[in-house]
A and B are shown apart, each in its own frame.
Chain A
Amino acid sequence: MELRIQLLSVVASGAMLLVVLELVRRRAFLERYAILWLFSGLVLLGLSLWKDGLEEVANLVGIAYPPNALFLIAFGFVLVLLLHFSLAVSRLSDQTKVLAQRLALLEQRHDERERSEASEELETVGRGS
């Protein structure tokens, strides 16, 4: 692997890892979402540094130019992350729907009680006078 492309991959994956670490430190996202990002950053950084390992991986799957293996792995991580987010978004919208329904039903019940209390009050006032 040529030095320039190795340098680029090390810098890029290192920067990604640092950004992820900083975001986790600031509690910008939940740990369970951070795990995938951290893991993919570590794997990419590791393979950029460890040239022989990357060449071995490339040979194993029949990729002539080792840096392409790096792209393939990165692409795999991106797919997994996207799938992960689709799941998370689906779950959130389901939960939001249920919350909106519960809120609407509770509001209706609350309004009804308030109205009946108000009319009871009117009745007792009417009887008192």
Chain B
Amino acid sequence: MDPNASHLAVVPAYNEADTIGSVIRALRSAAPAFDVLVVDDGSTDSTGEIAQREGAVVVRHPFNLGIGGAVQSGFVYAKENGYDYMVQVDGDGQHRPEEIPKLIAEMRADPTLDMVCGSRFLSAEHGYPAPISRRTGIHIFAFLLSRIIGQRVSDPTSGFRLYNRRAISLFARDYPHDYPEVEAVLMVHYHRLHMTEVPVRMLLRGGGVSSIRSGKSVYYMIKVLLAIFIGMARSRPVPEPGDAAPVTAGQSL
């Protein structure tokens, strides 16, 4: 690993008191080069305190913003503190820190890459034990995205990702709201950044509740499909520096 590069692991966590401690310890032992930032997204349990006790830097949202807002706080922190690489690891323990060196190796092997995603579906013996409905949804997104961006994407909902400076500054500026991973792949494409996937193993969730609850999966599908097609209809979905801000005071009918 480049001795001069700085690395940050961002762990978005909402009520993950059961697992956050072991996630931080696993990160320390498997990826010691990484500073650990836990974004406590308005937890009502002791997630933040536990993270602090384990020695992580903790950014505490005053109320729950959702996964998109939580990860974006991580991007802003990484950008403002000048980190070269940022890896995103879920707070529920389903991502394995032992796999981070794989992501790093991939990014270092190809300097044009801006984002490296861990994919559950690339290796033959993945055996990811998700319910069939969710896997079907993921495969539909994967199919559509692969066609749109002209590159195979096998696991567009994976939140196990490594970003370089360019991707960090893009997402610090604008990151999708509710179910951000799929849209983030599109944003990478539209901004002419480059991404790839590496096969990783993931565990079943250690605890907590997924940001995608089963009852909401239909809503999730529709919302993300809409985002994909709206994203295609925009010539430039995200403002570049110097454009009008996405939110301005005068904005009304």
Contacts and interface: CB of A to CB of B under 8 A. Distances in A.
Given A101-B65, A101-B73, A95 B247 contact: yes
Nearest to A33: B252
Q: Interface on chain A toward B: helix, strand, loop, or mixed SS?
A: helix
B2 interface: no
Contact of A97 (B39, B69, B77): B69
B247 A100 contact: no
B13 to A, nearest CB: 13
Nearest to A84: B253
A122 interface: no
B239 to A, nearest CB: 13
Contact of A101 (B57, B58, B69): B69
B252 A88 contact: yes
A92 to B, nearest CB: 9
Interface stretch (A13-21, A56-64, A103-111): A103-111
Contact of B60 (A95, A98, A107): A107
Given A32-B252, A100-B65, A100-B69, A91 B247 contact: yes
A43 interface: no
A1 interface: no
A105 B77 contact: yes
A94 interface: yes
Contacts of A105: 59, 73, 76-77, 80
Interface of A: 32, 36, 80, 83-84, 87-88, 91, 94-95, 97-98, 100-101, 103-105, 107-108, 112
19 contacts: A83-B253, A84-B252, A87-B251, A87-B252, A97-B69, A100-B62, A101-B69, A101-B72, A101-B76, A104-B39, A104-B60, A104-B61, A104-B73, A105-B59, A105-B73, A107-B59, A107-B60, A108-B58, A108-B60
Interface of B: 39, 57-63, 65, 69, 72-73, 76-77, 80, 177, 246-247, 251-253
